[in-house]
Amino acid sequence: MKGVLQTAVLHAARRRLLRMHFDAGVGHLGGNLSCIDAVLLVFHEMLGAQDRFILSKGHSVGALYIALWSIGRLSDDDLKTFHKDATLLPAHPPAFGLPDIPFATGSLGHGLSLAAGTALGMKMNRNGGRVVCLTSDGEWQEGSTWEALIFASHRQLTNLTVLVDHNGLQGFGTTTEVASMAPLAERLKGFDVEVVSVDGHDVDALRHTLTRPATRMRIAVMRTVKGKGVSFLENRMESHYLPLSRTQFELAMAEMEATA
């Protein structure tokens, strides 16, 4: 673990995320901005040498790369290759090349299955390792995610923590419009797991939720805002896809600077 996450690091990370996506000319900023606070907290305060982080919502790999940059695992030169030809930093988590990323994942809800298997392996090997898995809210419409939850609950994987980025938006609209699982937290409580609802942008609340001792597998349903911190992206489905124009980038950076 790297130490307590500082507010200055959070602000710098958000600005670097905007810069990286703008330079690459790619979108998917909305879901990155909704989860970056949690991802930074995990890497700065939760993960030890034996622990693993699995990003199930692969569209938000930018937040993961920025977290690795913030702890010195990636350099500025590395980030400049994001989304470029022959890069080690593609648009979804890569299958090889980065030791901190154990699996290639995407948008189809397979990360929790990988996380559950990894957590079980750690328990069987008795190495004391823990797994943190970040899912989207949209992927709880996937049958494989619920199958993984059944497995993890049955196996009592107390060394597995699941984070749900509950921003209410997905690729084709709101999660309510596409295939509602609301209220998601209440549905999850039907399993033998600990379910906690928390403000996903309140680092102190997240820290309290994620670091206290667990007696059951923990699922933190994080209330988040897609596009958090950029007024014209917040709660907008377009932020799932569209890259920033130069004018938008400069406006977004000015907003970030004003709140730093």
Q: Does residue 158 lie in a domain region?
A: yes
Q: Does residue 1 lie in a domain region?
A: no
Other Cβ atoms closer than 10 A to 9: 17
Strand partners for 53: 132
Task: Output the pTM of the full model.
Answer: 0.96
- Asked whether the predicted pLDDT for residue 260 surpasses 80, the reply is no
- Residue 177 to residue 237: CA distance in whole angstroms: 12
pLDDT at 75: 98
- Asked whether the predicted pLDDT for residue 1 surpasses 60, the reply is no
Average pLDDT over residues 88-110: 91
Q: Domain of 27?
A: 7-259
Q: Does residue 2 lie in a domain region?
A: no
The CATH number of whichever domain residue 198 belongs to comes to: 3.40.50.970
Q: Does residue 197 lie in a domain region?
A: yes
Domain count along the chain: 1
Residues 206-258 have pLDDT tens digits of 999 999 988 999 999 999 999 999 999 999 989 988 999 999 999 999 999 99
pLDDT at 173: 85
Find the helix or strand (DSSP H, E) in which 224 lies: none
> Tokens standing for 246?
């130069």
pLDDT at 2: 65
- The separation between CA 154 and the C-alpha centre of its own chain, rounded to angstroms, equals 25
Residue with tokens 């400069």: 250
CA dihedral 32, 97, 124, 191 (to 10 degrees): 20
Higher pLDDT, 24 or 106: 24
Q: Is the dihedral of CA 224, 222, 6, 54 positive or negative?
A: negative
Q: Mean pLDDT, the chain, as a whole number?
A: 95
Find the helix or strand (DSSP H, E) in which 178 lies: helix 175-179
CB 2 within 8 A of CB 73: no
- Asked whether the predicted pLDDT for residue 169 surpasses 90, the reply is no
**Could you give the 3-state DSSP secondary structure of residue 75?**
coil
